[in-house]
Amino acid sequence: MAVKDVLHYVPRRLLDESRDFFYQRGLEGCEGTALWIGRPAGSEVLLTRLFIPEQVCIKTAYGIGVDLTERAHYTLTDTLEPGERFYARIHSHPREAFHSKRDDANEIITHKGALSIVVPNFAVDPIDLTQCAIYRLEHGRGWLRLNIGDVAKVFEVVP
């Protein structure tokens, strides 16, 4: 069964903080990765804060990538306060935004309905979710890309 659309409110500040981090990483030629934490608000979700895990920038002849350190993997949930959870992961790409095979295989968050946002061009511009590639995890089907209409049902930017 398809995942039902759940609206996630995204404070503008969360976009700005995410962009600042990705932009700084991009200046070093590195992708960055982060998580968005939030809380349920009735049948919707209020995203509240950015979490930047300890990470390593990978550069090879085939391209670049980013991974959490082993310690970050093991301690990830320690960062959550009662009532909080991870709702989305967000990472940057040097150019085009899309989910690579490596991104599909990434196991930072794997709950049904988890969201994954890929920000293009090392976030040289402020983050505009309509310019990002956004995927949602459907168990048995994998990470499915949301079209613009779906994105509007899933994210609403708020002051």
Q: Which of these segments, 13-21, 44-52, 101-109, 148-156, binds Zn ion (CB under 5 A)?
A: 101-109
Does residue 103 bind Zn ion (CB under 5 A)?
yes
Q: Which of these segments, 7-15, 50-58, 96-104, 133-141, binds Zn ion (CB under 5 A)?
A: 96-104
Measured CA to CA in angstroms, residue 16 lies from 26, 63, 99 at distances of 15, 27, 22
The continuous run of DSSP H or E covering 7 comes out as: none
Distance in Å, CB of 116 to Zn ion, minimum: 9
Distance in Å, CB of 38 to Zn ion, minimum: 22
Q: Which residues contact 144 (CB under 8 A, 6 or more apart)?
A: 135, 136, 137, 138
Question: If you compute the radius of gyration of the chain from its CA atoms, what whole number of angstroms results?
Answer: 15
Closer to Zn ion at the Cβ: 89 or 103? 103
Does residue 89 bind Zn ion (CB under 5 A)?
no
Of 111, 52, 59, the C-alpha closest to 87 is 111
Distance in Å, CB of 141 to Zn ion, minimum: 19
Residue 123 to residue 109: CA distance in whole angstroms? 22
Residue 93 to residue 98: CA distance in whole angstroms? 8
Binding mask 47-86 for Zn ion (x = CB under 5 A): ----------------------------------------
Find where tokens 């969360």 sit: 14
Binding mask 118-157 for Zn ion (x = CB under 5 A): ----------------------------------------
**Quick check: 88 and 35 in contact, CB under 8 A?**
yes
Distance in Å, CB of 108 to Zn ion, minimum: 12
- Looking at the DSSP bridge assignments, the partners of residue 100 are none
Residue nearest to Zn ion (CB): 103
What are the residues binding Zn ion (CB under 5 A)? 100, 103
